[in-house]
Structure 1
Amino acid sequence: MSPKTAESGAKSGGRGRQLMTPSRIIVLLLAVLALIFIFENTRATRIRLLIPEVTMPLWMALLATGVIGALCGAYFMRRRS
């Protein structure tokens, strides 16, 4: 192996993308806490969206709101970059 090959291999190995960065760990922890909160609230509740009023489990309403928020956030972050 030539010196150039050995140097380039050492440089590229240390500069790859890390799988678990501190910010990803925090986001994962917040997502787990949000899911725990959602599934701890299981009682039925009345929800009104403009005119119709429906009765559904609170966890389903919270999960739907979270998914809609995540989709909106992903859409705006994709447009930004």
Structure 2
Amino acid sequence: MSPKTSESSGGGGRAGGGNLMTPGRVSVIALAVLALIFIFENTRATKIRLLIPEVTMPLWMALLGTAVIGALCGAYFMKRRS
């Protein structure tokens, strides 16, 4: 085989190359930072009803848990899509 037919991509192992800081990624990072600021600014205790039991917990924990569940659902559906 000639050297031209057996060349590797040589791009550091990344397929497709590309810029690390795309406008979409910057937007997602900015939204995540704003969501975390919102979550940790709301620290007072609140009552939350989970179907039957009523639980008292800090509001930031409820918001963070909801955000994590939403991120996991989004990641699951995006993985299924591709």
TM-score for both structures, normalised by structure 1 = 0.81
Q: List runs of 5+ in structure 1 lacking aligned partners.
A: 5-11
Question: RMSD of the TM alignment (CA)?
Answer: 1.7
Provide Cα deviations, 1:46-78, integer angstroms capped at 9, x if missing partner. Answer: 000110000000000000000000000000000
Aligned residue runs from structure 1 range 55-74, under 5 A: 55-74=56-75
Q: For 1:1-80, list aligned pairs within 5 A.
A: 16-80=17-81
* 1:17 shift after superposition: 1.5
Give the CA deviation at 1:16.
Answer: 2.1
Distance in 2 separating the partners of 1:21 and 1:51: 45
Which structure: greater helix fraction? 1
More off after superposition, 66-75 vs 15-24: 15-24
CA distance in 2, matches of 1:17, 1:67: 28
Query: Identity of counterpart residues, as a percentage?
Result: 81
* Equivalent-residue separation in structure 1 for 2:70 and 2:81 (angstroms): 16
TM-score, normalization: structure 2? 0.80
Give the letter aligned to residue 48 of structure 1: R
Aligned length: 70
Structure 1 runs (4+) greater than 2 angstroms displaced: none
